[in-house]
Amino acid sequence: MSAKLKSAVLGASGYSGLELTRILERHPRLEKPALLRREGGSDGAADLAELFPELSGNGGYPLRPLSWPELKRQGVELLFLATPHEASRSLVPEAIAQGLRVIDLSGAWRLKQAQHRAIYSFQDADAVTAAELTAKAVYGLPELNGDRIAAAQLVANPGCYATSVILALAPLLQAGLVDRECGIISDSKSGASGAGKAPTSRTHFVAVADNLSAYSVFNHRHLGEMVEQLGLGDAELIFTPHLLPILRGILSTIYVRLNRAMQPPEVESCLRDFYSGKHWVRVFATPKLPQVQFSLHTNYCDLGFCLAEDGQRLVLVSCVDNLLKGAAGQAVQNMNLMYRWEEREGLQ
C-alpha cells in the first residue's frame, strides 16, 4: 500500500464532525486526521476529548488553530469542512487556492441556481471566484455523481433530508414513470441531532421530548437541492420536515402518482436496477418497509414502497442515519471515490 493520505477536519466539535473524526481515524488508508479549530471556536477546548469524554484514553485529539502554512508543512492533501454554511463559503476559496481538495459538509456549495442559494444570504468577498467555484463544485451524492466526484477538487456533501428524498425518487424520475403534473409530496422526519449542536428554543429538551413538530414548511434549505438534483420545478415537490423526539435518523414518506399502472415487481425492478452495484442503498421487497432503527449507525440508505391496487398511487419510504449517510459517512464515501478506493473502505 502506498503512503497514507493526510487529511484534516475543521469542525470536529459538532455532531457530524465527531462522527467524521471517528471514521477517519480507523480508515486503513489514512493517517490520523489533523483536527482544526477556528478562532473562538470549539468552546475553547484544546482537545476534542474535553468536549466528548468518550474519546478519552485514545492518545489525544488536539485541536490546532487553522493555519494554511502549517497544513502545507504537514503534507495535508484533503480538508473536510464540518463548519457553518457561512464559514465554509468563505474558507473554501482559500483552501482551493492552497491546492487542497475539499469535502464540505455544509450547504455552502451545493446549489447551482441563484434563487435557491438566496436562502443562505451569502455575501461573497470575491463574487467572481465564488461563481467559478459554484460552477465547479460537484454535488457529492455518490450513487448519482460518482464519475464526477472522482475528479473533483471541491465536493459539496448533500444535506441529510435531501439524501433520503433524492435517492428514493431518482430511479422513477429518470425512468419517466412519475406523473409530475400531480405533484410529489415528501413528509420527512428527523432526529434532533439533525438540527446541529447549538441549542435553540425549538431543539431544547422540553420542546422536543414527547412531541412531534413541523418546521420550515415551503422554505427548508434542502428543498433547493432536491429539485435541482432531480430536475424538478419548484412547484412539483412539496417537502415538509418534522422534528422527532429521537437522537438520530431520518424517515421520509414520499407520495407519488405514476403515469401508468404498474405492478409491484416492476417498481421493485426499477429501484434495484438503478442501484445495481451501489452497495450503500438497500431496496426492501414490498410489503416490507424500512424503519429508522434499521439504518442507524450505518452508511445505508434503505428504500421500500407500497403500491395501491390501482397500480398508480405509490408510497416510497426512505431511511438514513442523518449523521452518517446524511453527513459524515457520505463524506468518507466521497473521499473513497476521489482517491479511487473501494467505496466501502472505512465504512464497514
Spatial distance between the Cα atoms of 102 and 136, rounded to a whole number of angstroms: 12
pLDDT at 223 over 90: yes
- The CATH superfamily holding the domain 160-320 is Dihydrodipicolinate Reductase; domain 2 (3.30.360.10)
pLDDT in tens, 38-94: 876 556 789 999 999 998 877 789 999 999 999 999 999 999 999 999 999 999 999
Contacts for 31 with CB less than 8 Å, ≥ 6 apart: 4, 5, 6, 7
* Predicted local confidence at residue 41, as pLDDT: 58
* Predicted local confidence at residue 196, as pLDDT: 79
pTM for the model: 0.95
182 assigned to active site: no
Instruction: Report which of 46, 43, 48 is spatially closest to residue 33, judged by C-alpha positions.
Output: 48
More confidently predicted of 203 and 29? 29
DSSP notation for 23-47:
HHHH-TTBPPPEEEE-TT-GGG-SB
Residue 6, Cβ neighbours under 10 Å: how many? 16
Q: What is the CATH number of domain 7-157+327-338?
A: 3.40.50.720
Query: Of 30-39, 200-209, 243-252, where does mean pLDDT reach its minimum?
Result: 200-209
> Within the chain, which residue ranges are assigned CATH 3.30.360.10?
160-320
Catalytic residue among 160, 270, 301, 319: 160
Spatial distance between the Cα atoms of 252 and 159, rounded to a whole number of angstroms: 13
Strands 78-81 and 138-139, how do they pair?
A: unpaired
Kindly report the length of the chain: 348
Could you tell me the CA-to-CA distances from 196 to 24, 264, 289, 302, 344 in Å, in that order? 20, 38, 28, 23, 26
> Within the chain, which residue ranges are assigned CATH 3.40.50.720?
7-157+327-338
pLDDT in tens, 309-332: 999 999 999 999 999 999 999 999
In degrees, rounded to 5, the angle at the alpha carbon of residue 286 between the alpha carbons of residues 283 and 292 is 60
pLDDT in tens, 146-177: 999 999 999 999 999 999 999 999 999 999 99
